[in-house]
């Protein structure tokens, strides 16, 4: 491992959940009654999963920043934080929120043994997202003081609040910092996403977001592109949508790296990325498409957190200095290993 990797610190900002996973033989029909083959309780949440995976990839020290209920959530807070600590993920900069009726966010997950697919029903249980003011006051100054080499990743759950945090981090960033953001929710408007992307070096844009918003960005071209979703080539809907975003992006007072990498994973097909550079006005120019095929999996065992695993592997690879193509391939390989096993233990990056 190189010295630069050893010195890197990763701070992931977002939600942690308590997942209750019910494994069933096959997905049930509506209004039916079945018995679960097994029930597991895990710590979940996008960045919670990514932090646990990233810590195993030998990329550097890792911490999680988010919110928990001050009342402890009937032991759920301790369960979640202890699970992160078991993966050597630091948690001391979390925010505690007061409120008697507030609980730890939860997800009920049905996992089909027949297909490995999962269906998730989530609830925040009254707990708000991380306060942008708390991040600016309590978290960001400490990161500036303690970590000259940092990868700061944001889960983009509330675009307005997260955009403020990304903008603050962009203004405060040191030369060796990199910022990334995850755009998952398909209900985010393209305008809200462009605000998030303005301060980020790397963005993870979900397949669901592309499918929902391609028409707004591509206009009449979207219908023909919709038919190009099952071929791994640079005419794919994902690349066309990311290029359309690039054409409308503008980052004011951009600091740090002028390069951008926007990533979109496409399940069993593979993953896409658009790389580019920003001109002096902040626009993304000279874009290049990057593709990677999905890793072959003999049997899908557990797909819960596969996307979070992919994101962590891409972040670790890019932080190590590899190109976007190699980072995508690493993401697909590690995610493939994850879906072929239960849980997140034992995941490693492929040899470079």
The model's pLDDT over 144-182, given as tens digits with 9 standing for 90+, comes to: 999 999 999 999 988 899 999 999 999 999 999 999 999
What average pLDDT score do residues 293-299 get?
91
Tokens of 73: 């959530």
Residue 6 has pLDDT above 60, yes or no: no
272 forms bridges with which residues in the sheet?
264, 291
Residue 286 has pLDDT above 80, yes or no: yes
Contacts of 8 (CB under 8 A, 6+ apart): 59, 60, 61, 149, 150, 151, 319
- The reported pLDDT for the residue numbered 116 is 80
User: CA 62, CA 47: separation in Å to the nearest integer?
Assistant: 11
User: Would you mind telling me the total number of residues written for the chain in this entry?
Assistant: 352
User: CA 170, CA 26: separation in Å to the nearest integer?
Assistant: 46
- The reported pLDDT for the residue numbered 251 is 65
The mean pLDDT of the chain is 91
pLDDT digits (tens, 9 = 90+) for 23-69: 999 999 999 999 999 999 999 999 999 999 999 999 999 999 999 99
- The reported pLDDT for the residue numbered 257 is 54
- The reported pLDDT for the residue numbered 349 is 93
pLDDT digits (tens, 9 = 90+) for 204-220: 999 999 999 999 999 87
What average pLDDT score do residues 260-271 get?
95
Whether 118 and 112 have beta carbons less than 8 Å apart is answered as: yes
- The reported pLDDT for the residue numbered 101 is 79
pTM of the model: 0.93
Burial of 229 (0-12, 13-18, 19+ CB in 10 A): middle
What percent of the chain lies above the pLDDT cut of 90? 75
Residue 347 has pLDDT above 80, yes or no: yes
User: CA 205, CA 225: separation in Å to the nearest integer?
Assistant: 17
User: CA 73, CA 70: separation in Å to the nearest integer?
Assistant: 8
Residue 337 has pLDDT above 60, yes or no: yes
Residue 5 has pLDDT above 60, yes or no: no
- The reported pLDDT for the residue numbered 4 is 40
The DSSP secondary structure of 122-153, one letter per residue, reads EE-TTPPPPPHHHIIIIIHHHHHHH-SEEEEE
pLDDT band at 230 (very low <50, low <70, confident <90, very high): confident
- The reported pLDDT for the residue numbered 73 is 78
pLDDT band at 133 (very low <50, low <70, confident <90, very high): very high
- Domain at 9-15+52-71+127-340, CATH homologous superfamily: Ribokinase (3.40.1190.20)
- The reported pLDDT for the residue numbered 94 is 96
Give the helix/strand (H/E) hosting 78: helix 76-86
Residue 264 has pLDDT above 60, yes or no: yes
Whether 183 and 206 have beta carbons less than 8 Å apart is answered as: yes
41 forms bridges with which residues in the sheet?
20
Q: Is 73 helix (H, G, I), strand (E, B) or coil?
A: coil
Domain spans of the chain, in order of start: 9-15+52-71+127-340
What average pLDDT score do residues 263-285 get?
90
User: CA 246, CA 262: separation in Å to the nearest integer?
Assistant: 9
Q: How far is CA 216 from the centre of its chain?
A: 23
pLDDT band at 1 (very low <50, low <70, confident <90, very high): very low
Residue 93 has pLDDT above 70, yes or no: yes
């Amino acid at each position: 491992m190189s010295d630069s990797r050893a010195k890197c610190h990763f701070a992931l900002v977002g939600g942690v959940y308590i997942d209750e996973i019910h494994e069933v033989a096959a997905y049930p029909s509506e209004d039916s009654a079945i018995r679960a083959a097994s029930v597991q309780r895990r710590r979940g949440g996008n960045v919670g999963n990514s932090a646990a995976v990233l810590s195993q990839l030998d990329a550097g020290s890792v911490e999680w920043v988010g919110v928990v209920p001050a009342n402890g959530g009937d032991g759920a807070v301790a369960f979640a934080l202890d699970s992160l600590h078991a993966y050597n993920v630091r948690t001391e900069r979390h925010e505690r929120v007061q409120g008697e009726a507030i609980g730890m966010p939860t997800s009920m997950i049905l996992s089909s043994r027949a297909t490995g697919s999962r269906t998730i029903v989530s609830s925040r249980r009254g707990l708000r997202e991380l306060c942008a003011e708390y991040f600016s006051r309590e978290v960001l100054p400490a990161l500036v003081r303690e970590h000259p080499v940092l990868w700061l990743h944001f889960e983009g759950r509330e675009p307005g609040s997260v955009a403020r945090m990304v903008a603050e981090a962009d203004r405060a960033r040191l030369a060796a910092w990199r910022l990334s953001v995850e755009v998952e929710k398909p209900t985010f408007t393209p305008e809200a996403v462009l605000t998030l992307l303005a301060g980020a070096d790397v963005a993870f844009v979900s397949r669901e977001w592309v499918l929902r918003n391609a028409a707004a960005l591509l206009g009449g071209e979207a219908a023909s592109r919709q038919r190009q979703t099952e071929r791994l080539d640079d005419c794919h809907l994902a690349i066309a949508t990311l290029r359309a975003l690039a054409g409308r992006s503008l980052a004011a007072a951009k600091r740090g790296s002028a390069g951008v990498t926007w990533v979109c994973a496409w399940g069993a097909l593979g993953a896409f990325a658009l790389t580019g550079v920003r001109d002096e006005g902040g626009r993304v120019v000279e874009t290049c498409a990057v593709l990677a095929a999905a890793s072959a999996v003999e049997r899908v065992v557990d797909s819960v957190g596969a996307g979070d695993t992919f994101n962590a592997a891409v972040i670790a690879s890019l932080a190590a200095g590899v190109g976007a193509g190699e980072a995508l391939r690493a993401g697909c390989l590690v995610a493939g290993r994850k879906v072929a096993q239960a849980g997140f233990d034992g995941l490693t990056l492929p040899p470079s």
